[in-house]
Amino acid sequence: MPNTLVRQFTILFAATLLSYCSSPIKPGSKQIIGLQPLGKYDTTQLSYIEKELQQFFKVPVVILHETALPAAFLNTTKGERYSGDSIIKWLAFNAPDSITKVVGLTHKDIFTTKKENGQIKKPESTYAVWGIFGLGYRPGRSCVISDFRLKTSEHTKFQHRLRTVVIHELGHNQGLDHCPAKNCIMSDANERIQTVDNSGVNYCGKCLHWLKH
């Protein structure tokens, strides 16, 4: 093989290896992440998420056609909140077969019902319709993220919040549980806005090792 071709092959191989080594997804796994706008969604924000996920996971990310949230998912006991549990079930069922992970994105407020020992956590008035940033199956094909509770006048802080929550929920989709490491994106403290702001930008070493094996 001529020296020029050898150098080109070496560079290509090194770039591919680096991509695999730096990706939080197991090498060889063929994944495509689909971003599903739920109702009208800010296009600049959508492009930002697409770019961040491509850089982080090193897999193709595609933007799907906008679709409306089903009215049946709406709960009005605490204002307008949509059921996150219903959304992720619906997303998993309706996403194209080519999409391995689907991320629902909405500006609407979403909720889940918090439970303890199979019962709604007390007091029910607080936890039956519990407002959340995002929700995802663990493991599974779908998650949903709302920016309703992430808003701030500081643009950089808002982007950090949005990126953290999206990657956190996709971590659940890949099978990761909450992590005790404070700076890990999978930290259970990232369910509180104060600690989302202080979150690291990656999974911790333990979570990355688990994902790759």
Q: Which helix (H) or strand (E) holds 85?
A: helix 84-94
Joined tokens for residue 32: 């495509």
Rounded distance between C-alpha atoms, residue 172 and residue 88, angstroms: 12
User: How is the chain split into domains, by residue range?
Assistant: 27-211
Query: Is pTM, for the whole model, over 0.85?
Result: yes
User: Would you say residue 6 has pLDDT above 90?
Assistant: no
Cα(136)–Cα(26) distance, rounded to whole angstroms?
19
CATH topology of domain 27-211: Collagenase (Catalytic Domain) (3.40.390)
What's the confidence (pLDDT) of residue 195? 85
Residue of 37, 35, 36, 33 whose CA lies nearest to 60: 33
The band of 188, judged by pLDDT with boundaries at 50, 70 and 90, is confident
Instruction: List pLDDT tens digits, range 26-82.
Output: 555 689 999 999 999 999 999 999 999 999 999 999 999 999 999 999 999 999 999
Q: Tell me: the pLDDT tens digits for 113-131?
A: 999 999 999 999 999 999 9
